[in-house]
Amino acid sequence: GAVVSQHPSRVICKSGTSVKIECRSLDFQATTMFWYRQFPKKSLMLMATSNEGSKATYEQGVEKDKFLINHASLTLSTLTVTSAHPEDSSFYICSAMSGRAGNEQFFGPGTRLTVL
Amino acid sequence: QKEVEQDPGPLSVPEGAIVSLNCTYSNSAFQYFMWYRQYSRKGPELLMYTYSSGNKEDGRFTAQVDKSSKYISLFIRDSQPSDSATYLCATIAGGTSYGKLTFGQGTILTVHP
Contacts of A95 in chain B (CB under 8 A): 43-44, 101
Answer whether residue B106 shows pLDDT above 60.
Answer: yes
**What digits encode the pLDDT tens for the residues A40-94?**
888 899 999 988 888 899 999 999 999 999 988 889 999 999 999 999 999 999 9
Closest residue in chain B to residue A51, using alpha carbons only: B99
Answer whether residue B61 shows pLDDT above 80.
Answer: yes
Query: What is the C-alpha to C-alpha distance for residues A34 and A106, in angstroms, rounded to an integer?
Result: 10
Answer whether residue A107 shows pLDDT above 70.
Answer: yes
Give the helix ranges, DSSP H, for B4-53: none
Task: Give, as one character, the DSSP assignment of residue B8.
Answer: -
pLDDT for the residue numbered A99: 67
- What number of other Cβ atoms are within 10 A of residue A83's Cβ? 13
* Stretch (H or E) spanning A93: strand A90-97
Answer yes or no: do A97 and B99 touch at CB < 8 A: yes
Q: Which of B5, B21, B91, B100 to mutate to test the interface with A (most CBs of A within 10 A)?
A: B100
Identify residues of A whose CB sits under 8 angstroms from chain B CBs.
Answer: 4, 6, 32, 34, 41-44, 46, 49, 91, 93, 95, 97, 101-110, 112
**Position B108 confidence tier, pLDDT thresholds 50, 70, 90:** very high
Q: For strands A44-51 and A57-58, give the pairing.
A: antiparallel
Query: What is the C-alpha to C-alpha distance for residues A18 and A14, in angstroms, rounded to an integer?
Result: 9
